[in-house]
Homo-oligomer: A and B are copies of this chain.
Amino acid sequence: MARRQLHLNAFLMTIGHHESAWRFPESSLTGTWDVAHYRHLAQVAERGRFDSVFFGDGPSLQGDIRYRPVGRLDPTVLLPALAAATERIGLVATASTTYNEPYNLARRFATIDHVSAGRAGWNIVTTAGRDAARNFGLDDVPEHRHRYERAAEFVDVCRKLWDSWADDFLLGDKANGRFAYGDRIRPIAHEGRFFRVQGPLNVPRTPQGYPLLVQAGSSEDGRQFAARYAEAVFTAQQTLAEGQAFYADLKARVAAEGRDPGLVKILPGIVPVIGTTEAQARERADELARLQVPAYGLRQLASLTGIELTEADLDSPLPEVGDVSAVQGMQSRFALVTDLARRENLTVRQLLARLGGGRGHRTFVGTPEQIADTIEEWFGSGAADGFNIMPPLLPSGLEEFVDHVVPVLQRRGLFRTEYTGRTLRDHYGLPRPVNQFQPPTAVPTPVS
């Protein structure tokens, strides 16, 4: 019997996930805003037979541009450009349920799924942060629980809209002037706490039925949301034990929701720092840390945790702070960062070095074989169904992973050598969802 297969997603962010990436000689100063850069990355990931590429997102300028390229092109515009330059790889974009309307977003992702012939995924986020709130007429970010309640109804509305056209709506009778079955496209008449949406959508049901639903928040609210809606989950876990605990917890929650835990794929994020030898990999990691700008790291720390520090605090331990439940931002990331600092007794400077690459995601430093070993260990011991690969430098870090780590995983029988399916759901081994308004028992009508 074939071995269980792991899944790989390439998380594409500017010219690399490490905040020092731009200072390396080979890094482009303008790649962050250049579609050709992302096209190349998507093609490299497809050459590596990755399941998907992925873009984070938020509707505000996050991070301090004095010290690093920040800002983001709209990923729902990038995906169709990348769809035109690739054939098989899945295309996942983040979009906010707090700062969009469900009709618009359901339609946008449905269109991406049509344009890419079934390769679209939506990473559903509720968007922490005051900066985003202030771009939409609010003084501060809506309360954490409220954002998740809105998100749940938002996705319910989207799924109704995506199912508002039956798959077999087309009649196509040219002789008699009858194009479609009128009763197979119907309003959804949704009336809820947050939304009133009449429908139907103005786009037919898509190749995948609807885009793959991805979720990446690991707070209590986030996990419950994932258990109910997600088909793939991106997560940040620092240790194998933490990864196993998260994996077991989430799969149990999925089962408790009456869903098959095998149909929700869990992918921790990792920052692979690769060297031909272990010493070379360590040297690369040290160089990345050496080039960090403390002022930038402190500002990032403040935005992840709410803890405001100055350069005078760099060689002290992280000060005591309040309880996670008071955090209205990214609760799980707050807990991860403060736990990491306590557990390893890190100074602020050491903590910034640990966060510089992946903002809380685990960094793996080593040879291709060593990185494959750690991947296999996590994959084989109940901590992961695959990995969200976050190269410190782009494109070079992705090229190295594809050229040197992927072949090791393939030799070990852990990863595909060719695509076997056409859609993103095919790659993740997930079925096309049944239309909630059209049970599969309906008699199919032939299209003339």
Interface residues of A (CB under 8 A from B): 22-25, 29-30, 33-35, 58-62, 64-74, 76-81, 83-85, 99-101, 103-104, 107-108, 110-112, 114-115, 131, 134-137, 169-170, 172, 174, 177-182, 185, 195-204, 291, 293, 447
A198 touches B74 (CB 8 A): no
Q: Are B196 and A65 interface neighbours, CB within 8 A?
A: no
Give min CB distance, A90 to chain B, whole Å. 16
Copies in the complex: 2
Please state if B111 and A62 are interface contacts (CB–CB under 8 Å).
no
Query: Is A203 in contact with B71, judged by CB distance below 8 angstroms?
Result: yes
With a CB–CB cut-off of 8 A, which chain B residues contact A203? 33, 71-74
Residue of B24, B70, B103, B179 touching A68 (CB-CB under 8 A): B179
Most buried by B among A25, A170, A179: A179
Closest to A171 in B: B66
Chain B residues contacting A61 (CB-CB under 8 Å) are 185, 199-202
Interchain CB contact (< 8 A) of A29 among B69, B83, B131, B170: B170
**Would you give the shortest CB distance from A188 to chain B, in whole angstroms?**
10
Which of B83, B101, B182, B196 interacts with A81 by CB under 8 Å? Answer: B83
Q: Is the interface of A mostly helix, strand, loop or mixed?
A: loop
Cα–Cα distance between A65 and B172 once the two chains are bound (Å): 11
Taking A65-B182, A76-B76, A99-B103 as given, write out 12 further A-B residue pairs in contact, using a Cβ cutoff of 8 Å, ordered by the A residue number.
A29-B170, A30-B170, A59-B202, A64-B182, A65-B185, A66-B180, A67-B178, A71-B203, A74-B110, A77-B112, A134-B196, A134-B197
By beta carbon, the residue of chain B nearest A177 is: B293
Shortest beta-carbon distance from A208 to chain B in Å? 14
In the complex, what residues of B have CB within 8 A of residue A100's CB? 104
> Do A195 and B137 have beta carbons less than 8 Å apart?
yes
User: Are B182 and A66 touching (Cβ within 8 A)?
Assistant: yes
Residue of B nearest to A117 (CB): B35
* C-alpha gap A135/B179 in the complex (Å): 24
Min CB–CB distance A11 → chain B (angstroms): 18
User: How far, in Å, is A210 (CB) from chain B's closest CB?
Assistant: 15
Q: B59 touching A107 by the CB < 8 A rule?
A: yes
